[in-house]
Structure 1
Amino acid sequence: MKHNKLHGVAHNYAVSMAGGLSFVVPNRVIHTHVFAEAESNKNGYLVADFLSGEVQGAYPEGEVAQALPSFAKALPEFCEKHNVDVADYKALLVRFIADPDGNRFVVTVEDRTGRRSSREYFGSQGERSETVDELGRRRPKVLSTPLD
């Protein structure tokens, strides 16, 4: 599976949580305030592992910690709908960040070959972060260090 395709599916899955109202879990609507929980954390972020259903930095009994196991369980079906095998993911981590620069999230994907990369998105709708290159052209922002 192409690495970019895995990132696209991971981005769509992360947006479903970032938006606050998710319909990805069959027969269930999940409401989360992921950025509010991230903001209340002393570091200003939390990290969701969509493969294991675990989260770091969220309230132990909060909305995100309660919702993430359901997201992990629904991921194979979501991947299948997008013509991706969930086994192609070795890691699917999302860091939700709330700080003075605004809400954003970083999606880190590792594929079965071990290729690992991260992409940053702004807002709850997940617009891709951009930078300007040396010739003044707008380019997607590349993060130098993926999440561990």
Structure 2
Amino acid sequence: MKFGELKSVGHNLAASFASGIGMMVGQYLDDVPYAEIRKADGDFLEIDFLSGTVSGIKPSPPLETYIDVFVSKGLQHLCDRHGLQRADFAGLKVCFFSGPGGSGFIVTVTDKNGNTSSDEYAGYGERVWEIDDYGRARRKPGEKGRIEPSE
């Protein structure tokens, strides 16, 4: 199992969820999570795709159903396509946000060895770009680390 594959599954799951076009789970949502965040005057919606827990805004009943379907079917579908097991993930959280600066999501993946990575995407899954010290546009680097086991 390669860590990049886990990150790919996390991104694909989040991008599909954000778009509202859930072809892989056979369910669609007209009002994508960004619209719900704006309606609720909230800052974010964070979903733990392993446990199904939600924090941030309180999702509407249709969004709750959509979350449940993605937690139960979507993650398994993508794991099967990538030759992975759900157990390869120790953590898979996605934080959707929407505000005056735009909409996007942050995918945080942790593998069973304690390696972790957080990558930010704009809109429906585009990498975020920033200007470096020389005025060049570069992909914004993700945060990487390792979670040490607690004693």
Whether the TM-score (by the shorter chain) exceeds 0.5 is yes
Asked if structure 2 preserves the Cα contact closer than 8 Å seen for 1:88 and 1:111, the reply is yes
Deviations 1:58-82 (A, max 9, x none): 3354332222121111112321112
Asked if structure 1 preserves the Cα contact closer than 8 Å seen for 2:37 and 2:45, the reply is yes
CA RMSD of aligned residues (A): 2.1
State the alpha-carbon separation in 1 of the partners of residues 23 and 65 from structure 2. 15
Equivalence map 1:87-126=2 (5 Å)? 87-124=87-124, 126=125
User: What is residue 27 of structure 2 aligned with on the other side?
Assistant: 29
Note the residue ranges of structure 1 that are not aligned, 5 or more in a row: none
Deviation at 1:144, TM superposition (A): 4.8
Instruction: Verify: 1:73 aligned to 2:72, yes or no.
Output: yes
State the alpha-carbon separation in 1 of the partners of residues 137 and 78 from structure 2. 32
2:94 partner amino acid: V
Asked if structure 1 preserves the Cα contact closer than 8 Å seen for 2:36 and 2:59, the reply is no
Deviation at 1:84, TM superposition (A): 2.1
1:80 partner amino acid: D
Q: SS state of the match for residue 24, structure 1?
A: coil
Tell me which moved more, 29-38 or 86-95: 29-38
State the alpha-carbon separation in 2 of the partners of residues 11 and 19 from structure 1. 12
Q: SS state of the match for residue 83, structure 2?
A: coil
TM-score (structure 2 length as normaliser): 0.83
Q: 1:137 to 1:17 in 2, by over 3 A?
A: same
Q: 1:47 to 1:21 in 2, by over 3 A?
A: same
Deviations 1:33-85 (A, max 9, x none): 21012223444211011111221123354332222121111112321112222
Note the residue ranges of structure 2 that are not aligned, 5 or more in a row: 146-151
Asked if structure 1 preserves the Cα contact closer than 8 Å seen for 2:20 and 2:32, the reply is yes
State the alpha-carbon separation in 2 of the partners of residues 143 and 113 from structure 1. 19
Asked if structure 1 preserves the Cα contact closer than 8 Å seen for 2:43 and 2:99, the reply is yes
Tell me which moved more, 113-122 or 82-91: 82-91
User: What is residue 39 of structure 2 aligned with on the other side?
Assistant: 40
